[in-house]
Amino acid sequence: MEKLYSFPEDFTPHKIVAATYKNRLNNWYEKETFDWPTAEALAFSTLMTEGHRVRLSGQDVKRGTFSQRHAVTWDQNTNDQLNLFQRINTTSSVAQLTLVNTLLSEYAVLGFEYGYSLHNPQCLVIWEAQFGDFANGAQIMIDNCIVSGEAKWNTLSSMIINLPHG
């Protein structure tokens, strides 16, 4: 938990992000509870320590649709980025979490990520539609490729579609 929710001495995060991380640590150690972003971070970290790759893409995945994730944060003095998942010790050189903020072109991005998942079956690929209705622009890709890919082409995909608004 400390690696996920603490900052290096010479890093100055935004005060709201710092308070969010402090709150997550307090909840974990004092109340023995955690929220959705913490559960997600623990799941990603576990996969990485077990040698797996995770790829998360979507319009604002580094920060999180509702400012909940904060996987990447910026130093307020230098504007340097800090990806907290890079501090997770892994036993594999392949294990990593790739976070990709994408353009708002659901059809194209989902198509790319689906192809990526087919080419990299050992990687957990997650496409996050910032708002659930954004999936409407990708519905053709969902219907014609993702849902029917196994029946049409005998191909399996490790793709997950995350719709925060359900």
Domain CATH number, residue 121? 3.40.50.12470
User: Looking at the domain assignment, is residue 1 inside a domain?
Assistant: no
User: Looking at the domain assignment, is residue 6 inside a domain?
Assistant: no
User: Looking at the domain assignment, is residue 62 inside a domain?
Assistant: yes
Q: Which of 34-38, 81-85, 135-139 has the lowest mean pLDDT?
A: 135-139
Mean pLDDT over 150-157 rounds to: 87
Q: How many domains does the chain have?
A: 1
User: Looking at the domain assignment, is residue 5 inside a domain?
Assistant: no
User: Looking at the domain assignment, is residue 89 inside a domain?
Assistant: yes
User: Looking at the domain assignment, is residue 120 inside a domain?
Assistant: yes
Nearest to 128 by CA among 33, 34, 40, 24: 40
pLDDT > 90: what percent of the chain? 24
Look at residue 165 in the predicted model and tell me its pLDDT. Answer: 64
Q: Domain of 69? A: 15-162
User: Looking at the domain assignment, is residue 2 inside a domain?
Assistant: no
User: Looking at the domain assignment, is residue 113 inside a domain?
Assistant: yes
pTM of the model: 0.83
Look at residue 66 in the predicted model and tell me its pLDDT. Answer: 64
Give the model confidence (pLDDT) of 142-152 as tens digits: 888 888 888 89
Residue, of 64 and 21, whose pLDDT is higher:
21
Residue, of 18 and 1, whose pLDDT is higher:
18
